[in-house]
Structure 1
Amino acid sequence: MPTLTKLYSMEEASQHNTEHDCWVVIDGKVYDLTSYLDEHPGGDDVLLAAAGKDATDEFDDAGHSRSAKELMKNFCIGELDTSAPTIPELENSSKKETNNYSQNLMELTKQYWAVPVAIVGISVVVGLIFLRKK
């Protein structure tokens, strides 16, 4: 009888990103590493930095041993559901907002440019008046 594998979306996995609830996705499998944080040879901060994310590249780059890969099986809670939509990227700003921001910045620049020019102009006039009196 085949075992049923629980499927998790990346959105669901991303919600488990704290030291009290730490999930990591590696090679399409979801691992609950909460109970392993204190035992991880590289320290818990490495795992917490990858919590709630796909950490396949980081895991591969670290060069884990065969025994480490065997140990991972104990923490596997399911697989990543690749049919579920991924988390959408946040939109930084629209072009309209960017243009409005640029216009506001240009107007502020013009305002702040006028103040130093006025000060220099007044200084020149005062200087000329002072020199004429001597």
Structure 2
Amino acid sequence: MSKTFEADEVKQHKSEESAWVVVDGGVYDVTEFLEDHPGGKKILLKNCGKDASEAFWTYHSEKVLQKTAAEYKIGEVKPGSKL
């Protein structure tokens, strides 16, 4: 079973020490991926702590979400939570 996070908890993770992004309701801890992100860590950090779906889909395909991002998924945002 996947863990569910409140929006307030996700919003606290927007630094190099703890970086979480939300894509289509999924919560991804990208802290360990910051240095490896092909677009650089700055763009990831800009989108941490919030719903980054629009930015993600502008530059990535479904394949990236399924293959690369899957290992970083830690849960889902609680339904109805506003980021």
Task: Please confirm whether the aligned pair reaches a TM-score higher than 0.5, indicating the same fold.
Answer: yes
Percent sequence identity over matched residues?
Answer: 35
Q: Matches of residues 1-134 of structure 1 in structure 2 within 5 Å?
A: 4-64=1-61, 66=63, 68-69=64-65, 70-84=67-81, 86=82
Large movers: runs of 4+ above 2 Å? none
Give the structure with the larger strand fraction: 2
Counterpart of 2:52 in structure 1: which amino acid? A
How far apart in 1 are the matches of 2:44 and 2:28?
11
In 2, Cα distance between the equivalents of 1:81 and 1:24? Answer: 14
Listed as ranges, the gaps of 5+ residues in structure 1 are 88-134
Where does the alignment leave 5 or more consecutive residues of structure 2 unmatched?
none
Between the two proteins, the alignment pairs up a number of residues equal to 82
- Using the size of structure 2 for normalisation, the TM-score is 0.90
Question: Does the residue aligned with 2:42 lie in a helix, a strand or coil?
Answer: helix
Cα distance in 2, alignment partners of residues 9 and 32 from structure 1: 15
Greater relative contact order (Cα < 8 A, sep 6+): 2
Report the structure, 1 or 2, having the larger helix content: 1
TM-score by length of 1: 0.57
Larger radius of gyration: 1
